[in-house]
Amino acid sequence: MQAIATVLVYSDDANTREQVRLAVGRRPAADLPPVEYVECATLPAVLEQLERGGIDICVLDGEANPAGGMGVGRQIKDEIFRCPPVLVLIGRPQDAWLATWSRADAAVTHPVDPVALTETLATLLRHRITPVVTTVATR
């Protein structure tokens, strides 16, 4: 079992990064480990963190400047071996096709809906890591 899930949050806007952290909280679901956040405000920082390894999921702001999260998502899917799942924050539901172009594994609208973001992130994490299994001893 993995002790911590590492979530990379990319946005040039500190408020957007904070909204993601506050929406998901310390543990997105009971069957998942606690999360630790790595915040990035630039594309070079994202690439550096991914090259280091240990990232379990990327949450990318589609409206980030100058490198938008959808372009970043497409780039990392092409360049990072065993790229972690990518969740893109999109400005409008109509932009979902762009998220598909970016090879994102999922998309949620921004402003952040805490329930939608947490459920989507938890689903992606379940495919990436081994869920926490609780056992009950019986006699």
Tens-place pLDDT, residues 84-129 = 999 999 998 888 888 889 999 999 999 999 999 999 999 999 998 8
Q: Is residue 75 part of a domain?
A: yes
Q: Is residue 44 part of a domain?
A: yes
**What is the crossing angle of helices 14-24 and 114-128, to 10°?**
70
Tens-place pLDDT, residues 2-57 = 799 999 999 999 999 999 999 999 999 999 999 999 999 999 999 999 999 999 99
pLDDT over 80 at 135, yes or no = no
Separation of alpha carbons 46 and 132, rounded Å = 28
Domain count, the chain: 1
Separation of alpha carbons 139 and 135, rounded Å = 13
Give the predicted TM-score (pTM) of the model.
Answer: 0.90
Cβ pair 59, 21 in contact under 8 A: no
Range of the domain at 59: 5-128
